[in-house]
Amino acid sequence: MKIAMVGSGYVGLVSGACFADFGHDVVCIDKDSSKVERLRDGIMPIYEPGLASLVENNARAGRLSFTTDLAEGIKDAGAIFIAVGTPSRRGDGHADLSFVYAVAKEIGESLANDAVVVTKSTVPVGTGDEVERILSESPAIMQRGLKASVVSNPEFLREGAAIGDFKRPDRIVIGAEDEFGREVMREVYRPLFLNESPILFTGRRTSELIKYAANAFLATKITFINEIADLCEKVGANVQDVARGIGMDNRIGAKFLHAGPGYGGSCFPKDTLALLKTAEDFESPVRIVEAVVKANDSRKRAMGRKVVDALGGHDAARGKRVAMLGLTFKPNTDDMRDSPAIAVAQTLSDAGVEIAAYDPEGMEIAAPLMPDVAMKDNPYAAIEGADAIVIVTEWDAFRALDFNRVKQLAKAPVLVDLRNIYNPEDLRQAGFHYTGVGRD
Ligand SMILES: NC(=O)c1ccc[n+]([C@@H]2O[C@H](COP(=O)([O-])OP(=O)(O)OC[C@H]3O[C@@H](n4cnc5c(N)ncnc54)[C@H](O)[C@@H]3O)[C@@H](O)[C@H]2O)c1
C-alpha cells in the first residue's frame, strides 16, 4: 500500500521508515525544506539509534522518499498519516492543534483518491471529529465526491528506543468509526498483525483518550516514586529497594519506578497539561494529574537546590563552578524539550553558580536554551575545576567515569547523582562526597 506521512519529525520519520521496512511504499512529507533536503542526502535531522541505516536501506530500495509537496506526496496513498507537532498552547496548556488542522485543510484541497486520514499526532478528544468536519467541507468531498475516513492511531514509541518500540509494540490502538477505516488500517498494520502484536480496535474518541490516559498514568508513576524518594531521605530508607519491593508485585510492575529529577521531554509535560484542559472543559476533574503536574514542576527546581546544598548552601555556592553531565531529558536522544536540565541550570545560575556541561548528543540544541552554560567537548573538560559534578541524564558514557582522573581534575570531590547510577559506597570509598536521590 502507498502510505503518506505528513510531518517527518521524531514520530513521522521513525513511523515512515518502519512502514517502508514492512514493505509499504512510503512518502514522508515535511514543510521544512532543509529537513527534506537533508533526508534526501541521507543526513538525519534527529539523533535516534538505528534510524540512519533504516532510512538509507529503504530509500535505496525505492520504498521511502521525501518531499515538501503534499499534493504530490499523498497522490494514490491509501492511508495519509498526520504526524505534526501538537505543542502546548501558550497560556492555557491546551494542545495547539493549528498544525493538525492546517494539514487536514491541505489534504482536503489536494486529495485525488479515496483515503483514510489518520491522526498519529497526540490529539485531544474530539480532534478527529474536527478533522472529519474540515474534510467534509473540502473540495475533495464537496466537489470531487471522494471518500475520506478519519481514524485515530496514537503513537506510543519512546525516543531512544523508537524503532524497536514501533516494530514490536506492546499494543496498537486504532480508533475508527467505519469499516473502510478499519479495513485500511488492518492492511497498514498487517505485518505486525502477523507478528501477533495486539491490536485494539475502538471508537475514535476512546482511542484519543487512551493516549492521554497512558501518558498521565506513566507521569503519575514517576511522580509517585519521586515523592516516595523524598520521604526515604527523611526517614532513612532506600528508594531503590522500595521500588524493587513494590515493583515485584505484578499489579504494580517494576518499570517507571526510578526516582530522579522529574519527568521532562516532548510528551509527558504537554500531554498532562492537555488532559487537564480537557478535564476542565468537560467539568470532570482529574485531581490526581493536577497534583502530579504541580509536584513535577516544583521537583525540577528542588533538584537544583539539592546541588546548591551540596556546594555548602546558598551563600557558599555563589561564584562556585558545577559540571553538569547530561542535558537531554533522557539518554539516547538529542531532545531537549522540557528537560529537567533546563530548570536545574536556571536554579544554579540564579544562585550565582557557573556551569560547564557535556552531553553526547544534546549540546547543539541545548546551547541556545541555556546561554549561560559553557558547553564542553567531553565530560572531563566539563569537570575540570568544578566544585561539584551533577549527573542529570544517565547516558552510558557517564556510568564508568575514571574517578582517579575526575578527582585530579575537579576542585572538590563532590558528586550529585540525580539518576542514582552509582553505588554510594563505591564513591565514598573513592573519597567523594556523594548525594543520590532517595537513599543515603
Ligand atoms: N516524540 C515522541 O517521543 C512522541 C511519541 C509519541 C507521540 N508523539 C506525538 O507525535 C506528534 C509529533 O511529535 P514529534 O516529536 O514527531 O514532533 P516534531 O516536532 O519532531 O515533528 C513534527 C514535524 O512536522 C512538520 N510539520 C509541521 N507542520 C507541517 C505541515 N503543515 N506540513 C508538513 N509538515 C509539517 C514539522 O516541520 C516537523 O518536522 C506530537 O503530537 C507528539 O505529541 C511524540
The total number of residues shown for the chain amounts to 440
* Whole-Å CA distances, 432 to 326, 396, 403, 413, 427: 20, 20, 9, 5, 5
| Residue 440 placed within a domain | no
Q: Please indicate whether residue 29, judged by its CB atom, sits closer than 6 Å to ligand 1.
A: yes
- Same-domain pairing of 27 and 58: yes
> Alpha helices of 26-138 — where are they, by DSSP H?
33-40, 51-60, 70-74, 98-110, 127-136
What is the number of the ligand 1 atom nearest to the C-alpha of 267? Answer: 43
Q: Please indicate whether residue 155, judged by its CB atom, sits closer than 6 Å to ligand 1.
A: yes
- Same-domain pairing of 32 and 169: yes
Long-range CB contacts (within 8 A, 24+) of 396-405:
396/331, 397/360, 398/325, 398/326, 403/427, 403/430, 403/432, 405/380
**For residue 223, pLDDT beyond 90:** yes
The reply to whether 267 belongs to the active site is: yes
Among the three residues 202, 230, 262, which one is the final residue of a domain in this structure?
Answer: 202
**For residue 142, pLDDT beyond 90:** yes
Among the three residues 169, 202, 235, which one is the final residue of a domain in this structure?
Answer: 202
Report the alpha-carbon distance of residue 428 to residue 430 in Å, rounded. 5
Whether residue 323 contacts residue 356, with contact meaning beta carbons closer than 8 Å, is answered with yes
Written as nine digits, the cell of 368 is 541556545
**For residue 403, pLDDT beyond 90:** yes
pLDDT tens across 72-86, in order? 999 999 999 999 999
Q: The domain containing residue 426 runs over which residues?
A: 299-435
- Same-domain pairing of 193 and 147: yes
| Residue 184 placed within a domain | yes
For the domain that residue 40 is a member of, what is the CATH number? 3.40.50.720
* Whole-number average pLDDT of the chain: 97
Predicted pLDDT of residue 426: 94
Report the alpha-carbon distance of residue 255 to residue 159 in Å, rounded. 16
pLDDT tens across 204-217, in order? 999 999 999 999 99
Nearest CA to ligand 1 atom 44: 11
> Which of 355, 360, 356, 324 is closest to 341 using CA atoms?
324
Predicted pLDDT of residue 149: 98
- Same-domain pairing of 87 and 195: yes
Domain count, the chain: 3
94 CA distance to ligand 1 centroid (A)?
A: 16
CA-based torsion, 183, 189, 191, 192: positive or negative: negative
Among the three residues 202, 227, 250, which one is the final residue of a domain in this structure?
Answer: 202
pLDDT tens across 282-304, in order? 999 999 999 999 999 999 999 99
- Same-domain pairing of 230 and 178: no
- Same-domain pairing of 65 and 88: yes
Q: Which amino acid is at 330?
A: K
Exposed e or buried b per residue across 65-96, where buried means at least 16 C-beta atoms within 10 angstroms of its C-beta = bbbbebeebbeebbbbbbbbbbebbeeebbbe
pLDDT tens across 148-199, in order? 999 999 999 999 999 999 999 999 999 999 999 999 999 999 998 888 899 9
Nearest CA to ligand 1 atom 10: 121
- Same-domain pairing of 77 and 113: yes
CA-based torsion, 410, 416, 422, 424: positive or negative: positive
What is the number of the ligand 1 atom nearest to the C-alpha of 11? Answer: 16
Predicted pLDDT of residue 436: 97
Nearest CA to ligand 1 atom 37: 32
- Same-domain pairing of 306 and 356: yes
**Proportion of the chain above pLDDT 90, given as a percent:** 97
- Same-domain pairing of 239 and 312: no
Predicted pLDDT of residue 296: 98
